[in-house]
Amino acid sequence: MLIIPLATWAIEWQWALDTNLQAADLDFGLFILTETGSTPYALITCVLFMLWLMWLTRKRYSWFLVGFICASSVVGTQIIKEGAKAVFKEPRPFVTQMFQAETERFYSLPKLDQEKQVLTFSQPNIQFVTEHQADELGYSFPSGHTIFAVSWLLVFAGFLFGLSGQAVIFAQIFAILWAGLMLISRLRLGMHYPIDLFVSTLISWLFHLIVFVWVIPYLSQWQWFRKRG
């Protein structure tokens, strides 16, 4: 996943107000995908992915352990994200492009007024982009969608490591493609800078390194988390 922000830096790509005018159909597809990591649809994604993993790992891990780790992964990383946003308070790319030197004034406005100001930039063929931006007015750094996507990718990678079969291979490929497109969508929709994706990926990697190296072996010793039968 680090390849995506690194490639963006390498080609010196930057989001601009006219970026989405170039490929509205592509952006609509990415908008649909990014919604799988947005409230409330992210909850559906979590439930489906968790059940999928429980089935794929049913012969190796307790379903309770898989469910507990999945829930802890999502909740734990999102808490870190919320804390970091509150500390850094970095404006999103679309806010910087729309309001230039007035970003501090923009963020001081009530949310309803923020939404109205963003929607003034709406254009017919990309209205869905502007409405999405007006719906996500929080700060940019780090990227919650990136942490969400990379976390699920790492949960799939960790639990499926060493397993074989077509269903496992399909799940691994799906997780990689879904997470990669999620990161690309955040850039294309003007929601994040490459540095947001880069650091968010590292945050998720460090969190799950701890989970799979120390937490899971420790929990596996508890009766509740042991595989039975």
Give the type of residue at 163. L
Q: Which two tokens stand for residue 174?
A: 């799906």
**DSSP symbol at 113:** H
> Pick from 151, 29, 32, 141: which is nearest to 86 by CA?
141
Length of the chain: 229
Quote the CA–CA distance of 214 and 75 in Å, as a whole number: 18
* 192 classed as catalytic: yes
Neighbouring CB atoms inside 10 A of 211's CB total: 19
Choosing from 81, 132, 145, 186, the catalytic residue is 145
Choosing from 186, 192, 193, 200, the catalytic residue is 192
> Pick from 145, 150, 147, 173: which is nearest to 160 by CA?
173
Please work out, in degrees rounded to the nearest 5, the angle formed at the alpha carbon of residue 155 by the alpha carbons of 152 and 157: 110
* 132 classed as catalytic: no
Quote the CA–CA distance of 227 and 229 in Å, as a whole number: 7
Map 141-180 to HEC letters. Answer: CCCHHHHHHHHHHHHHHHHHCCCCCHHHHHHHHHHHHHHH
User: What is the set of active-site residues?
Assistant: 145, 192
